[in-house]
Structure 1
Amino acid sequence: MRAVLSSCVLFSLAMVVGGCNERAAKAPPVKPPPPPVVVQPIVDPIDLIALEEMAVPQAGLPFELEPYVQPQRLIVFTSQGPIRVDVLLWIDDQPYDHAMEELVDHVLKLADANGDGKATWDELADQPELRSGQFGNLSFEDPRQRKQNIDRYDTNRNGWVDRAEVPRMVSRSSARTEAFSVRRTSYAVNRSRTDSPLRQMLDENSDGVIDSEEIATAANRLRLRDLDDDEIVTPMELITASGRSMTDMTRSGDRRRFFGGQGMFTLDDSTPWNDLLYAMQENYERGGQLQLDKFPSENLLHTIDADADGVLSKEELPKLASLPPEYELTIRFGDDAEKQPRISMTPFRMTSAEPITKSNEVSVNLGTDWLVFRMRDNVSSEFALRQAESLLQTYDGNQDGYLEESELPEQGTNINFAMADKDKDEKLYVEEIEASLLQRNWVQRCHIRLQGIDGDDPLFRAVDPVRDGRLSARELKQLEKQFASMDADKSHSIEFDEIPSLLVFEFFRGEQDDNQLVRSIYTPPGDATEINELTPDWFSGMDYNGDGDISIREFLGTPDQFSKLDADNDGFITAAEALSTPDVL
C-alpha cells in the first residue's frame, strides 16, 4: 500500500513539475522587483548590530549594501547663528574607523609572536619593526628605553597589549588615539573680514568702509598689484604687495585659532555643554545671555527652546544632537576614493543653498557667510609613491635605479635600510621605499583631523564670480558691478558687515600644516578656461595667461582685426567669437 501511495505521490509531483515547467516556458519573463529602499537613521539611538547585519551581502540580493558610517555631528557657528552639518568619513571605501581597527589587529598579531593567544608587551617589543621604530613609534632597541616605553604604554600594568593601548603607542601621542579628532578652532566671522588683504588695500583711509571713490579706483589699483604683469591678480600678489611675509601670515593664523570663542563643536556623548553655551554667548552676545530674538526665525536654536522663554539654557542644548542636519558632508580618503567624488555635500532642507564643489573643496553661500569645507590627504599611497620617487632621485648617486645602504642616510629619511630591504638583496627599489614610508605613516593614514584655517580672503572670493582664486582682466573690468551687488543698503559704499565672512574648515590626514597658503604668485588656471578642439590654434597661442579671453594687449594682430573679432565690443575676444569669424585671421 505504501509503495502504491509513493508511486502516486511521485506521479503527482511529476505532473505538477511538468505542468509548471510547461507554463513557465510559455509565460513572459518576470521583471525582478526593485531593490528595497534602505533608509539610514539620522539621529541616535541606532541599532548598530542590525546595521552591521544589513551591510553583509545577502544571497539573492541584486546589489551589496554600502556599510553604515556613523556620522560626525557638527555644529558650526555662522554670523546668522549655528547650523548643523553631519559628516560621513570614509577611508579606502570603508567607514573611517575600520582603518584604525586594522592597524590595531596587525599590532596585536605581532604581539602574539608565539601564537598562544596572548599579546604581551615583551613579545611586541621583540618585533624588529617595533624595536627599530619603523611604525613611527619610539624605539625599543635600548633596554632602558624599552622598559620606559612599556611602562608608559601598558597603562593598566597587566603586561598584555590591550586594544586601547595600541594607537597611543604607534602614534607617540595621546591626542591621536581616536580615528577622528577635532582641533580647537576659534570663531572667525569678524576676523575673516578684518584680515582681508583686499579690504585693507581698498580702504585707503582705514575708516572701515570702502566708499564710492575707493570703489571707482579699485580696478586700477588692483592692476598695480599684478606683479608678473599677466593681467591677472592673485591673493598672493595682494599679500606680497602689502609687505606681509608668509611667516607672519602663518604665525598670526595659528595664534588666532586658539583665542576667542570656539567656532565649532562635535555633538556626542562627550560634548562639553557648558563650553558650548559659553562659546555661543561669547560669539553672539559678548558674554551675555543667549537671546533668541536676534536669530532668524528659521534658525535651529528656536526649536530647542523647550520652555519658550526666548533664552537658551545649558539644559536645553543637548537636544541639538538629535536635530536633523541642514547639510550632509561626505569625505572619502584613500585610493578607492578615486572611483567617486572625494568630497560632496547635500542640502537636507528645501530652503538650503546648493553647494558648489571644486576639486577637494565644497562651499555654500549662506548669504552673509561663505561656509567652506576642504580635504587634504598627505599620506595616501599616491603621495607615498611621489615621496619614494623623490628620495630615489635625491640619493641615487650613481643613477642605477636603486639605493644601496651607503647611499641612504637614515637621519632625515627615517628609513631603516635593513627593515625596508624585504628581499635582502641589498638594494632598495622605489617599491620598497614606498612600502617603508607607508608603514611609517600607517597610523597617520588611520587618523582624520578637523581644524579651522585662516588665510583666505572673503572679499576676494565675493568679487571672483568664477571662484578660480584669481581676478582676470575681464573680472577687473566688471569690478564695480560686483561691488554694487554687495551694496545691500544702496549707499554706494561697502560697509564692514556687507562683506561676507569666510569660514573654512579642513579635514586632513598627515602632518600638521596650519596655514596652507599657495606659495606661488601665479596660480595655473586649472579648469577655468573652456577650450575645445574646434578653437583655432592662434587663439590658444595668444591667450598667454590662460584665462579664456584675449585682451587687446595679448592680441598680436591689428586693431582693426581685433575690432572685427570682438563682436560684442566688450574689449575681449572669446573662443566663441574666434569661431564665429574664422576669416579675420
Structure 2
Amino acid sequence: MLLRLHLRNNGQPYRAPWDAYLQKLYAYLDTNGDGVLDKAETERAPSIQFLQFHFQGAIGFNYQGSKGQMGQFDTNKDGKVSLAEFKEFYRRGGLAPVQFFSSNNRATADAVTNTFYKRLDSNQDGKLSAQEMAQAETALLRFDLDEDEMLTAEELMPGGENNSPFGRPFNGGQASPNADIGFLEIKSEKVNNLSRQVLVHYDKNKNGKLSQKEIGLDKPLFDKLDANHDGQLDAKEFTAFFRRDADLELLVGAGSISQGAPIAGLLWKLGVSSLGAARVAGFNPHQRSMPLAAKVKRRGPSTVAFTWGDAHIAVSASDQQFGNFSRQFFEQRFREADVGKKGVVDRKQAMSARFLGEIFDLVDRNSDGKMTQQELKAYLDMQSEGAGCRIPLTFTDEGRSLFEVLDKDGDGRLSLRELRTAWARMQPLVGREDGLTQQAIPRRLDVSASQNPRRIRVVPGQSRRVNFAGKSRSVPLWFQKMDRNQDGDISPREFLGRDEDFRKLDTDGDGLISTAEAQQFEEKTKKSKAQTADAAKR
C-alpha cells in the first residue's frame, strides 16, 4: 500500500513554521543588524545537539555554541554567513521540520498473547476455542498481582505471576521507518534505494527478483509494474510502485487548528459535514479514484483508521506545546538569582542558580555580561516557537495483540466481564475455523504526528476508567463507592452487603452487578417508596 501524508503545522505547509523559526534565530544572532552573520555572531549559534535538547524541554544540557565551525556555515568562503547557508548547516546536521521515529512493540504483544495461548490452549492445537476461553477467568486471575480483579498487559507478561508490575517502555528511537516495522519513508531522490530495500526484505528465494506471491500485490498492479512481462519484478521495475498515485492520501494537521476553518478546496469529507477542528482527514483535491478512502473510519477529531489486508492502521495527530515546565523552571531560577529584584542577573548570580548558567551566553544577546528578564523572555519565546515548528512523526508496529482484541473499552485492563465475554469479540476473527490462531489476530500499525508518541486504538472505546462525573445523577452513589476498580461492575468481592442482597440485585445472574441493574434497583425502590407514601396519605 502507498500512503501519502500531506503535513500541516499550525494550518500551514509543514516547512513554513520551521523556516520562519530559523529566520528568527538568524535575526536573534545578528546583533549588529546588518543582515548577515560575521564570525563572532556565527560562533554564538547554538549547536545542533543543544537545540534538539531544548526543543524537547530538556534541562541540564549546557549551551554549546559553534566556535571553530565558521567554515561549516560559510560554504562559499566569503567571510560571512547568509540565511540560506545558516539553514543549510542545520539541515545537514539533521534538524528538519519533520522528525522520524520508529517503534517496534511486537515482542511485547507476542509475549502477552503467548501467555493466553500457554494458559488456555488446553489441547495445544494452536487455537483458542469458545470452550477454552470459558476458562479464562479461572486460569488467568492468578496473574492479578494487585488483586483488583483486573488484568494488565504487564501482569500477563512471562513471569508476571512472580514479579511486580512494571511499566512498558517505549521501544523506539529516532530512526526512519523501515520494512521491518511495516513502513518505509519515501523520498523521490532515494526511490532506487527503497526499491532495493524492499526487494531484499521480501525476496524469499534470493533470486534478486520478486514474484507476486512474495510481494503480495494484487495481480492488476503487479502486471502493470512488470514491464517486461516475465512474471517477476526486479529493483528497477519496482521503483514504479513508489512513483504511482497513492492508494490513500491524508491531510494531517499538527499544532493549533482554528475551529471551523478547514483549508478550502483541499478536503473531501470522511463522514462529517465539515472538517472543523479535525486533525486528520482525507485529501483528494482532484477527486481522483481512491477506493481505499471508503474503508477509512473516523475515530474522533484526531484519528482515522482503516484496514489493509490483515493489518489495522491508525493515523493520528495532536497539538504540540513547548514543555511549560522548562519555561517555568528557568523563570523560577531567574527569580532566585535576582536577589535585588531588579530584573537583571550577572554571570556569577546565574551560575549560582542551578541550570540557569547553562543558557547564560545565549540569552545575553548583547554580550554585556548580564541577563535581563526581557532577554530571558525573548529567548524562551523563540525556543517555544522552535519546538512547535517541528513535527515528530512516529511509526509503530504494535504486533498482533489478543489483549487489545479483548480489551473492549480500551482502558488497558481486562475486567471480569471482558474475560467472561471474550469469545464474543474473538468470534468475528475466527471465520470458519473452530478456534482463533495467533496469525488471525489483526496486526496493529500506528502513525502519529504528535509531540508525545501514544498508542491509538483502531476500535473506538470508552474512557480509560469509567467516568461517573457526568452520570452521578443516574448511577447510585453506593454503586460508585463499591466499584473500587472502576470497571463499571460490582463483583461479589466488592459488594459490601449480604449474599442474598447481591443475588437480588444481579437480576441476570451473571455474577456481576452492572450499572443498569443498579439503576433498575434504584428506580424500583423509588417507585415502591412513592406508592407507600401515597397509601399512607389515604
The reply to whether TM is greater than 0.5 is yes
Q: Is the 8 A contact 2:42 2:81 kept in 1?
A: no
In structure 2, C-alpha distance between the alignment counterparts of 1:464 and 1:534, rounded to whole Å: 27
Indicate if the aligned counterparts of 1:203 and 1:214 stay in contact, CA closer than 8 A.
Answer: no
Partner amino acid for 2:491?
A: S
Q: Indicate which of 465, 477, 491 corresponds to 2:420.
A: 477
How far is 1:395 from its partner?
Answer: 9.3
TM-score, normalised on structure 2?
0.69
Output the CA distance in 2 between the equivalents of 1:319 and 1:451: 26
Change (3 A) 1:527 1:246: closer
Shift in CA distance, 308/196, structure 1 to aligned 2, threshold 3 Å: same
1:265 counterpart = 2:184: yes
Aligned counterparts of 1:310 and 1:151: Cα–Cα separation in 2: 53
1:525 and 2:464 matched:
yes
* Paired residue type of 1:353: K
* Alignment root-mean-square deviation, CA: 4.9
1:279 paired to 2:198: yes
- The answer to whether residue 484 in structure 2 is matched with residue 544 in structure 1 is yes
Match of 1:236 among 154, 170, 173: 154
Amino acid in structure 1 at the alignment position of 2:145 = L
1:102 deviation in Å? 0.3
Secondary structure, aligned partner of 1:266: coil
Measured against aligned partners, the alpha-carbon deviations of 1:472-506 in whole angstroms (never above 9, x if no partner) come to: 221011123334443335233x3332222222334
The CA distance in 2 between the partners of 1:244 and 1:504, in whole Å, is 30
Tell me how far 1:270 sits from its aligned partner.
Answer: 1.5
- The alpha-carbon distance between structure 1 residues 313 and 199, as it changes in their structure 2 partners (threshold 3 A), is same
Structure 1 residue 469, shift from structure 2 partner:
2.6
Task: Report if aligned partners of 1:565, 1:573 keep a CA contact under 8 Å in 2.
Answer: yes
Tell me how far apart the structure 1 counterparts of residues 181 and 400 of structure 2 sit (CA, whole Å). 20
Alignment of 1:21-36 (within 5 A): none
Contact 1:345 1:355 in 2 (8 A): no
Q: What stretches of structure 2 of length at least 5 have no aligned partner? A: 56-61, 261-275, 284-289, 457-461, 527-538
Q: Matched residues in 2 for 1:306 and 1:260: separation?
A: 24
Is 2:1 the partner of 1:120? Answer: no
TM-score (norm 1): 0.64
Work out whether 1:368 is the aligned partner of 2:310.
yes
Partner of 2:111: 197
How far the C-alpha of 1:175 sits from its partner, in A, is 1.6
**Letter of the 1:151 counterpart:** G
Which residue is 1:555 aligned to? 495
1:183-262 aligned at under 5 Å gives the runs: 183=101, 192=106, 195-204=109-118, 209-212=126-129, 215-239=133-157, 241-242=159-160, 250=169, 261=180
Equivalent residue letter for 1:463? L
Q: Is the 8 A contact 2:489 2:515 kept in 1?
A: yes
- The alpha-carbon distance between structure 1 residues 419 and 577, as it changes in their structure 2 partners (threshold 3 A), is same
Q: Aligned partner of 2:111: which letter?
A: P
Whole-angstrom CA distance in 2 between matches of 1:336 and 1:547: 34
The aligned amino acid for 1:267 is I
What secondary structure, in the 3-state scheme, does the structure 1 residue paired with 2:190 have?
Answer: coil
Q: Does 1:468 align with 2:411?
A: yes
Residue 356 of structure 1 deviates from its aligned partner by 5.0
Cα distance in 1 between the residues matched to 2:84 and 2:254: 24
2 CA distance for matches of 1:489 and 1:86? Answer: 35
CA distance in structure 2 between the partners assigned to 1:421 and 1:108 by the alignment: 12
- 5+ residue gaps in structure 1? 1-82, 518-522
Q: Is the 8 A contact 1:355 1:365 kept in 2?
A: no
> 1-side partners of 2:159 and 2:133: how far apart?
19
Please state whether the residue corresponding to 2:238 is helix, strand or coil.
Answer: helix
Deviation at 1:259, TM superposition (A): 8.6
User: Which is worse superposed, 216-225 or 331-340?
Assistant: 331-340
Match of 1:79 in 2: none
Q: 1:247 to 1:307 in 2, by over 3 A?
A: farther
- Counterparts of 1:460 and 1:167, CA distance in 2: 47
Matches of 2:82 and 2:463, distance apart in 1 = 50
Change (3 A) 1:469 1:391: farther
2:55 equivalent to 1:161: no
Q: How does 1:315-464 map to 2 (within 5 A)?
A: 315-336=236-257, 341=277, 343-346=279-282, 348-349=290-291, 352-355=294-297, 357=299, 362-366=304-308, 368-375=310-317, 380-381=321-322, 384-389=323-328, 406=349, 409-411=353-355, 414-416=358-360, 419=363, 436-440=379-383, 442-453=385-396, 458-464=401-407
Map of 1:72-111 to 2, 5 A cutoff? 83-110=1-28
State how far apart, in whole Å, the 2-side matches of 1:487 and 1:480 are: 10
Q: How far is the alpha carbon of 1:279 from its aligned partner?
A: 1.9
Which letter maps to 2:186? Answer: L
Whole-angstrom distance in 1 between the partners of 2:371 and 2:31: 28
Instruction: Tell me how far apart the structure 1 counterparts of residues 165 and 392 of structure 2 sit (CA, whole Å).
Output: 24
- Please name the residue that 1:64 is paired with: none
SS of alignment partner, residue 155 of structure 2: helix
Contact 2:29 2:41 in 1 (8 A): yes
* Cα distance in 2, alignment partners of residues 420 and 246 from structure 1: 48
Aligned partner of 1:13 in structure 2 is none
Q: Shift of residue 336 of structure 1?
A: 3.8
CA distance in 2 between counterparts of 1:222 and 1:394 reads 51
- The one-letter code sitting in structure 1 at the alignment partner of 2:471 is N
What letter is aligned with 1:192? R
Compared with structure 1, are the counterparts of its residues 95 and 397 closer, same or farther at alpha carbon in structure 2 (3 Å cutoff)? same
% of aligned pairs identical?
21
